[in-house]
Amino acid sequence: MFNKEYKFTCERCGREWFASSKELKEQKRLKKEINLMSATADITKFGRLGVPTKKVQRQNAVLSEMKHAYSDPTRCPDCGSRKVIKSKA
């Protein structure tokens, strides 16, 4: 499959940025993993009645690293607006 390039334009501030279809798929996969990891961490916290354990601390560390690596391609990097126009570059 070919790697397509997309152009994103913010309607609020006019900023333009580009992302490939490969990057978009990777960010989508990372978002799913973050949601799954977050749900797992919540269940673990509930099961331990809020008592922090080393397992919970490790999960929180991994989760924060994953959140830091994630960047939403449909949100403007400058103003944070979701009013974005997506077009083929």
Give the residue with greater pLDDT, 52 vs 6: 6
The count of structural domains within the chain is 1
- C-alpha distance from residue 13 to each of 5, 9, 32, 86 (Å): 22, 9, 29, 15
Range of the structural domain that residue 45 is part of: 5-88
pLDDT tens across 17-57, in order? 999 999 899 889 988 988 888 887 777 777 666 666 777 77
Q: What does each C-alpha distance from 48 to 24, 34, 40, 41, 72 come to in angstroms?
A: 36, 21, 12, 11, 32
How many CB atoms neighbour CB 53 within 10 A?
11
Residue the block writes with tokens 């990777």 = 26
